[in-house]
Structure 1
Amino acid sequence: MQTKNLMEIRNATAEDAPAISRLIGSVARFFTLQPDGAGAEDFLKTISPESVAGYLTDPRFAYFKAEQDGALAGVVAVRDASHLYHLFVDASCQRQGLSRQLWDHARAAVRDTNPGYFTVNSTPYAQPVYERFGFVATGPRVETKGIAFVPMRLTIA
């Protein structure tokens, strides 16, 4: 596995919403049941630029971005200091340790208010990544409204 230098990770702002929406949309095929997103319209609305801008301005969210050569490489968001809401890495930057860097950054950012656990609804594709982070499945794979996910939890020691 190739590992690049640590990327700069910083707070995302509402101005980043269109780029974040594009990034998440570019990897949507990994969690929609149909490659074209058919049936997942409700979910796809939640990653629209308008919806993402709402998360970025909502105080319940801690939202961060990583850039490489001026382009968005990855994003991470934690809601209510305990739910890993978004963790997406551009396809060209995957398998280089960026998801770990983003996760570590977000986890540290909410450390003081975290209730002792994190939850995530992992895409089946990303489940091995979350397992490496220490998450365990809390139920079977769920298929609903055009998407698939596995509910997972990480208890902080």
Structure 2
Amino acid sequence: MKIRSLVAADIPAAAALLRRAAEAFILHESTPADGAVFLTEQGEDGIRGFLDKGYVYHVAEVDGTLAGFIAVRERSHVYSLYVDSRFHRRGIARRLWETASRAAFGPGHPGAFTVNASNHAVPFYASLGFVPTAPTQVGIVRYNPMRLTIDGALVDPA
């Protein structure tokens, strides 16, 4: 597995992966109209827009296939983390998190990460040490606000 920064050529594959994952694990809890809005906002144009706003993306490749990606906003909020279901249970999400958190952590970091986790993803984030900060919220998708407070050793850049 190779973890690297997302490049423009990755955007179609990342958007397609996000669509498959959202349809399998997230959108069943939303109305069809809200699901359509979510997929539009998170499509190729959405990813390009998030990159333009400074979101930092890393991708995981397995044998030349984009197997997952993570996006971090403002060095402290996990905006997206998706792994293709064909690659689940291989530690890819954890490796993406480790790479992204190390890249984000450093001087000026606020000392915590936040995420709005889908119901499906809550156990994964809990395994990293994130804790809920509010009950499940309902927007265009259901999400669980979570926070991880960093002690300097947790994301040691070494």
* Fold-level similarity (TM above 0.5): yes
State the alpha-carbon separation in 1 of the partners of residues 16 and 32 from structure 2: 14
Structure 1 residue 107 displacement after superposition: 0.3
On the 8 A contact 2:115/2:145 being kept in 1, the answer is: yes
On the 8 A contact 2:11/2:47 being kept in 1, the answer is: yes
Choose which of 111, 129, 135 in structure 1 pairs with 2:130.
135
State the alpha-carbon separation in 2 of the partners of residues 82 and 111 from structure 1: 8
Q: Normalising by structure 2, report the TM-score.
A: 0.88
State the alpha-carbon separation in 2 of the partners of residues 70 and 128 from structure 1: 28
1:28 aligns with 2:22: yes
Q: Which amino acid aligns with 1:150?
A: N
| Structure 1: stretches of 5+ with no match in the other structure | 1-6
Secondary structure of the corresponding residue to residue 115 of structure 1? coil
On the 8 A contact 2:111/2:150 being kept in 1, the answer is: yes
State the alpha-carbon separation in 1 of the partners of residues 11 and 144 from structure 2: 26
1:58 aligns with 2:53: yes
1:74 aligns with 2:59: no
State the alpha-carbon separation in 1 of the partners of residues 68 and 31 from structure 2: 22
CA distances 1:46-84 after superposition (whole Å, capped 9, x unpaired): 21111112223332x111001111111000111000000
Counterpart position of 2:116: 121
More helix as a share of residues = 2
State the alpha-carbon separation in 1 of the partners of residues 28 and 139 from structure 2: 9
On the 8 A contact 1:33/1:148 being kept in 2, the answer is: no
Q: Normalising by structure 1, report the TM-score.
A: 0.88
| Structure 2: stretches of 5+ with no match in the other structure | 152-158
Q: Which amino acid aligns with 2:53?
A: D
Counterpart position of 1:105: 99
Q: Which amino acid aligns with 1:56?
A: L
Count of residue pairs the alignment pairs up = 149
Structure 1 residue 36 displacement after superposition: 8.3
Secondary structure of the corresponding residue to residue 97 of structure 2? helix
Structure 1 residue 39 displacement after superposition: 2.5
Pairwise CA RMSD: 1.6
Q: Which amino acid aligns with 2:150?
A: I
